[in-house]
A and B are shown apart, each in its own frame.
Chain A
Amino acid sequence: MFLKQNKIQKNEEFLTLSEGQLMWRQFFKHKVAVVSSIILIFLYTVVIFANFFAPYGMLTGHKFHLYAPPQITKINFVDNEGNFHIRPFIYRQVAVRDPKTLRFVYQDNLKQKDFIYFFVRGEPYTMLGFIKSDIHFFGVKEGNFFLLGTDIIGRDLLSRIIFGGRVSLSIGLIGVIILVIIGTIVGTVSGYFGSWIDNLIQRIIEIIRTIPQVALWMALASIIPKEWPSTYVYLGIVIIFGLISWAGLAREVRGKVLAIRRSDFIYAAEISGASTSRIIAKHIIPNVLSHIIVIATLSIPIMIIGEAALSFLGLGIKPPMTSWGLLLTQLREVQTLKHYPWLISPAGFIVVSVLCFNFIGDALRDVNDPHSR
C-alpha cells in the first residue's frame, strides 16, 4: 500500500517537472558523462588557477635537472630503513654524468628525504592579474619535486602542462562561441526565410564543407605573420577555428528551424501579430537551443585536437606561450622520445579531455532525443 502510494507520488512529481529539470535528471543517469563533467570541471579549475596549482612557473628552468625523469613513481611512505612516515616523501634527485654517453643520469640520494607538503611557499606569482601570493598547492620545502619530469632546459613538465592547458582548453571554448553565434544566425536565417536565401546559403555551406577543414586550418594558420606576439597568434587561431567550422552547425540548425517553422504555434504567433524577430528569439531559438548545445559540445574536442595538431606541426601557438600540442613538438625527434619517454604525457591530457567532451556530448544528445525517454 505504502509502496503504491510512493510510486504515485513519484509519478506526480515527474509530471510537474519542467522540460529542463527532466533533461537534468536524464543527464544524471549517464554515469560516464557525470564523471566526465567532474573531470573537466577539475581540469578547468586547475588551469584557471594555474599559478597556484603548478608547483613551478611556466618558464622556470632548473639547470641541474635537465631531462630529469618523473618522480610520480618514487613517492614513498616507507624509507629504506623500514620506518613508516605518515607524510609522503621523495629522495632527492642528484644528477650524475654518465662517463660513457656524457648524458645526465639521475640517482636518488637515499640520505636526503624531501617531504611533500600541501600549500607550500615557492615562487611568487600574480594570479589572474590581481592575486599576489607565493603559496603553491603542493611541493617540497627544500630540493625539487618534478612529478612528471622536466624538459630539455629543466622546466617542470607538470607546470608546463597546467599552463599549456589554459591555451588548449580555452581555444575550444572560445572557438565554439564564435562557431555557435555564426552557425545559429546563418542556420536560422536560412531555415526561416527559405527561398533563394536558403538556396544560396546551402550552396555556400556545401562548398565550405568540401574543403577539408584541417587543411584549411593549416593554410590559414600559416598565414598568421611570424613576427606577431604569441597572444595575437592565439587569437588568430581561435578566430580561424570559429570562422571555418560553423557550416555543420548551420546545416543542423536550418533543418530544425525548417521543421519548427511549419508548426502550428508559429502560425499562431504570426497571426497574433508577433514580429519576425520576436518569433525567432522567443519561439524558434529556444526550440533549437538543445541541438545547438549538443553540436557545440561535440565541436569542442575537434578544436582541441585541431589546436594540438597545428601547434604540434609548428603552425599554431608559439613560445613563450605553450599548449599541449606545442609540448608534444619535441617528440617529432624520434630519439627524444626514445630517451625521454615521459615527454609524451601531454598527449594523455589531450586524450582525456577529448574523451570527456565526447562522453558529455553523447549523453546530451541522448537526453535531447525524445525517443530515448
Chain B
Amino acid sequence: MGLLSYIVKRTLFSIPVIIVISILCFGIIQLPPGDYADAYAAVAASTGGGSVSKEYLEKIRERYGLDQPFWIQYWRWVKGFPEGDFGIAMSLQGTPVTDLLKERLPMTLFLNFSALIFALMIALPIGIYSATHQYSLLDYLLTFIAFIGIAIPGFILAVFIIAISIFWFDSSYIGRLYSNEFIGKAWNMDKTIDFLKHLPVPIITIGIAQTSNTMRIMRGNMLDVLKQPFIQTARSKGLSEPVVNWKHAARIAINPIISRIGVYLPEIIATEMLVSIVLNLNTIGPLFYDSLIAQDMYLAGTILLVISIILVLGNLIADVALALSDPRIRHELN
C-alpha cells in the first residue's frame, strides 16, 4: 500500500525537522544576555509586579539549569515535552505552560481551521465563476475586491471592523470570543449561542486575505485548465457547461490549491495571532504577545515551538490530502 508507507515516511521525516526547530527556538530564548532569573526579577520589580522571592528564583534556576552550558539547558527545556510538560510560565506566577496551552490551543486550532475552511468555501466558487465569466463586469469587480483584500493587513482590518461596529452596529459581539458573563463557565447552550455570535468577525477577518489570494489562484488555474484538450473533448461529447466546468475542470484546477495549503497555513496562523491580539481573543496569539512584552522568553520560545509543530503537522496533512485528491500522485506512489 503506497499511500500508507508514504504517510509513515512523511511523519518520520517531520521528527528531525521538529528537533531542529526546537534548537532554533531555544537559541532565541538564549539570545537576551544575562541570567534569565535575574532579568525576570528586575522586570517584575520595575513593572510593579512586586519583589520575587528567592526560593522562586532558585526554583526557576533549578528547573531550567540556568547556570549550566547551552546543551544541558536545552535538554532540561525539551525533555518534558514528549510527556506534555512544557515548563512553567515565569511571568504568570509559575503557572504550568501545559495548563495555558490546554486552555488556549483548542480555540486557536478551531479558529485557524475555520478561517481556512471559510477562505476555501468562499474563494473556490468565486474563482471558478470569475474564470468562466472572464472579463465580465463581475469578474473585474471581484478581482478588484480581491486585490484590496490582499492589501489590507488583518490587524488593520480588525481595527476597521471595531471602528465600524462602534459607529453602526451592535458592538457587543465584537472582540473576545464570548461575553463577560460566560468567562470561566462550563460550555452550555447559552454560552455556545453567545460564542457563535462572536465567531463571524474573527473568522472573516482572519480568512479574508487568504480568500482573496485563493480566489485569484483558482481563477488562474481554471483558465489554464479550460484551455486543455480534455475540456474540448468533454464539450464535444455534448456535456452541459456546468458539468464541464464544475466536474471536469474544477476537479483538476483545485489540486494546486490543496498543495498550497502548506503555504496558506503560516499566513493564516500569523494573521490569527495579530487579529487575536487586536480583538483580545482567548487564543495563543495574545499569550505569545504578553510573554514577549513581559520578556518571558521561555514562554515565548515554547509557544513559537508549539506553533511551528502545528505548522509541520498542517503541512503533513496537506501533503496527505493532496495524495488523496490527486490520482496522479497516488499513481506515482504505487
Could you tell me if B155 and A355 are in contact, using CB atoms closer than 8 angstroms?
no
Binds B, one of A95-103, A129-137, A216-224, A273-281: A216-224
A211 within 8 A of B: yes
Which secondary structure dominates where chain A touches chain B? helix
CA–CA, A172 to B283, complex, Å?
Answer: 30
Q: Smallest CB-CB separation from B152: which chain A residue?
A: A351
In the complex with contacts A312-B155, A334-B166, A347-B311 CB distance below 8 A: no
CA–CA, A206 to B312, complex, Å?
Answer: 10
Could you tell me if B151 and A355 are in contact, using CB atoms closer than 8 angstroms?
yes
Binds B, one of A3-11, A163-171, A336-344: A336-344
Across-interface contacts of B17 in A (CB, < 8 A): 206-207, 210
Binds A, one of B99-107, B178-186, B285-293: B285-293
A48 within 8 A of B: no
Could you tell me if A212 and B266 are in contact, using CB atoms closer than 8 angstroms?
yes
Could you tell me if A351 and B292 are in contact, using CB atoms closer than 8 angstroms?
no
CA–CA, A222 to B292, complex, Å?
Answer: 6
B253 within 8 A of A: no
Could you tell me if A341 and B24 are in contact, using CB atoms closer than 8 angstroms?
no
B153 within 8 A of A: yes
Across-interface contacts of B304 in A (CB, < 8 A): 211, 215-216, 219
Could you tell me if B151 and A222 are in contact, using CB atoms closer than 8 angstroms?
no
Could you tell me if B308 and A309 are in contact, using CB atoms closer than 8 angstroms?
no
Across-interface contacts of B292 in A (CB, < 8 A): 218-219, 222, 315
- The distance from the CB of A71 to the nearest CB of chain B, in whole angstroms, is 21
Could you tell me if A328 and B273 are in contact, using CB atoms closer than 8 angstroms?
no
Across-interface contacts of B266 in A (CB, < 8 A): 209-210, 212-213
Q: Smallest CB-CB separation from A354: which chain B residue?
A: B151
Across-interface contacts of A301 in B (CB, < 8 A): 151
Across-interface contacts of B162 in A (CB, < 8 A): 334, 337
In the complex with contacts A351-B151, A358-B150, A222-B273 CB distance below 8 A: no
Which secondary structure dominates where chain B touches chain A? helix
Q: Smallest CB-CB separation from B162: which chain A residue?
A: A334
A293 within 8 A of B: no
Interface string of A218-236 (1 = CB under 8 A from B): 1110110000000000000
Across-interface contacts of A347 in B (CB, < 8 A): 156, 159-160
B21 within 8 A of A: yes
Could you tell me if A309 and B274 are in contact, using CB atoms closer than 8 angstroms?
yes
B28 within 8 A of A: yes
Could you tell me if B270 and A215 are in contact, using CB atoms closer than 8 angstroms?
yes
A176 within 8 A of B: no
A34 within 8 A of B: no
The range of chain A's interface size is 35 or more
Across-interface contacts of B189 in A (CB, < 8 A): none
Q: Which of A182-222 contact B (CB under 8 A)?
A: 206-207, 209-216, 218-220, 222
Across-interface contacts of B167 in A (CB, < 8 A): 338, 341
Could you tell me if B308 and A220 are in contact, using CB atoms closer than 8 angstroms?
no
Could you tell me if B163 and A341 are in contact, using CB atoms closer than 8 angstroms?
yes
Q: Smallest CB-CB separation from A315: which chain B residue?
A: B292
Q: Which of A277-323 contact B (CB under 8 A)?
A: 301, 305, 308-309, 312-315
Could you tell me if A211 and B147 are in contact, using CB atoms closer than 8 angstroms?
no
CA–CA, A337 to B278, complex, Å?
Answer: 13
* Contact pick for B148, options A305, A338, A355, CB 8 Å: A355
- The distance from the CB of A11 to the nearest CB of chain B, in whole angstroms, is 26
Could you tell me if B315 and A210 are in contact, using CB atoms closer than 8 angstroms?
yes
* Contact pick for A211, options B24, B155, B300, CB 8 Å: B24
Could you tell me if B159 and A309 are in contact, using CB atoms closer than 8 angstroms?
no
A331 within 8 A of B: yes
B12 within 8 A of A: no
13 pairs from A and B in contact (CB 8 Å cutoff)? A209-B266, A212-B311, A218-B289, A219-B28, A219-B304, A223-B31, A331-B159, A344-B159, A347-B159, A347-B160, A350-B153, A355-B147, A355-B151
Knowing that A212-B266, A220-B28, A337-B166 are A-B contacts, what are 12 other residue pairs whose CB atoms are under 8 Å apart, sorted by A's residue number? A210-B21, A211-B308, A212-B273, A213-B266, A214-B273, A216-B304, A222-B292, A305-B153, A308-B153, A313-B289, A344-B159, A347-B156
What are the nearest 6 A-B pairs in CB distance?
Answer: A214-B270, A222-B292, A355-B151, A305-B153, A354-B151, A212-B266
